[in-house]
């Protein structure tokens, strides 16, 4: 009976740890990037880390993971978003959360297709100009 109660308590605590609508409550080490940047990242085996980009979906930002890391080196956990305010136009941050697995180097590319809507490729001149890639080179030590 004690094990059943302990398991139920652990499940309740684990579920409560996640933010509202958030898949994870711990972003780990946060590494900032942006459109047009290449960022080197060094993490240890077993370390959780997040690659972040400025994100404001209300003005057209549409970030996506376009090149996932080598799964032997780092595994993708989830994509999260936090807004700095509740009003439309509020700036925010996109978090792409990973776990470092084994020693090695791999690359992650995040792409912002600005105001692309359901399209995956920008067509309008302003969308072409504002879209871009953030590249992260991950080295697990």
* Domains located in the chain, CATH noted: 27-140 (2.60.40.2020)
Average pLDDT over residues 34-49: 98
What is the Cα–Cα distance from 78 to 81, expressed in whole angstroms?
A: 10
Residue 10 pLDDT exceeds 60: no
Predicted TM-score (pTM) of the model is 0.80
pLDDT by residue (tens digit) across 56-103? 988 899 999 998 999 999 999 999 999 887 666 678 999 999 999 999
The mean predicted confidence, pLDDT, of the chain is: 85
Residue of 119, 134, 128, 141 lying closest to 47 (CA atoms): 141
SS3 category, 80:
strand
Query: Any idea what DSSP says for residue 59?
Result: G
Percent pLDDT > 90 in the chain is 66
pLDDT in the model for residue 18 = 39
Q: How confident is the model at residue 23, as a pLDDT? A: 67
Q: Report, as an integer, the average pLDDT of 120-125.
A: 89
Task: Determine contact, residues 65/110, Cβ cutoff 8 Å.
Answer: yes
More confident residue, 117 or 124: 124
């Amino acid at each position: 009976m004690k094990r059943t109660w302990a398991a139920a308590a652990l499940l309740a605590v684990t579920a409560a740890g996640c933010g509202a609508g958030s898949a994870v409550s711990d972003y780990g080490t946060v590494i900032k990037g942006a459109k047009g940047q290449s960022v080197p990242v060094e993490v240890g085996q077993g370390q959780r880390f997040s690659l972040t980009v400025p994100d404001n979906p209300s003005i057209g930002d549409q970030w996506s993971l376009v090149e996932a890391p080598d799964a032997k080196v780092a595994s993708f956990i989830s994509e999260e978003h936090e807004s700095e305010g509740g009003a439309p136009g509020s700036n925010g941050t996109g978090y792409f959360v990973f776990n470092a697995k084994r020693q090695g180097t791999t690359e992650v590319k995040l792409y912002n297709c600005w105001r692309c809507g359901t399209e995956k490729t920008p067509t309008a001149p302003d969308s072409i100009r504002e879209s871009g890639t953030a590249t992260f080179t991950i080295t697990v030590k």
